[in-house]
Amino acid sequence: MMFVEQIKEGQKVIGADGGHVGTIDGLSGQLLKLKKNDPDSGGAHHYLDLGLVVAVEGDTIRLIVPAAEAKERWSEAAE
């Protein structure tokens, strides 16, 4: 995972379509941990596999899948 060192708390996560997915709270092993106070989070932390990251561009993390698909794939527990 060549992007791991570039991932920082507060970065925005967007899908391949540019849609908002969440905001980084940190990393949990090989998972992105998204903030629970993000408007799209429903008040819970969500986790996404680092393998979905295709680029880190400044304060934005871009995923290889559209935002809707990323939200279908996220989990509420670090597995």
- 67 found inside a domain: no
pTM equals 0.91
Domain that holds residue 13: 6-58
* Higher-scoring residue by pLDDT: 33, 2: 33
- 53 found inside a domain: yes
Q: Is 34 helix (H, G, I), strand (E, B) or coil?
A: strand
The pLDDT of residue 10 is above 90:
yes
Domain count, the chain: 1
**Which tokens in the block code for residue 12?**
């925005």
pLDDT confidence band for 42 (50 / 70 / 90): confident
- Within 8 A by CB and 6+ apart from 53, the residues are 1, 3, 7, 32, 61, 62, 63, 64
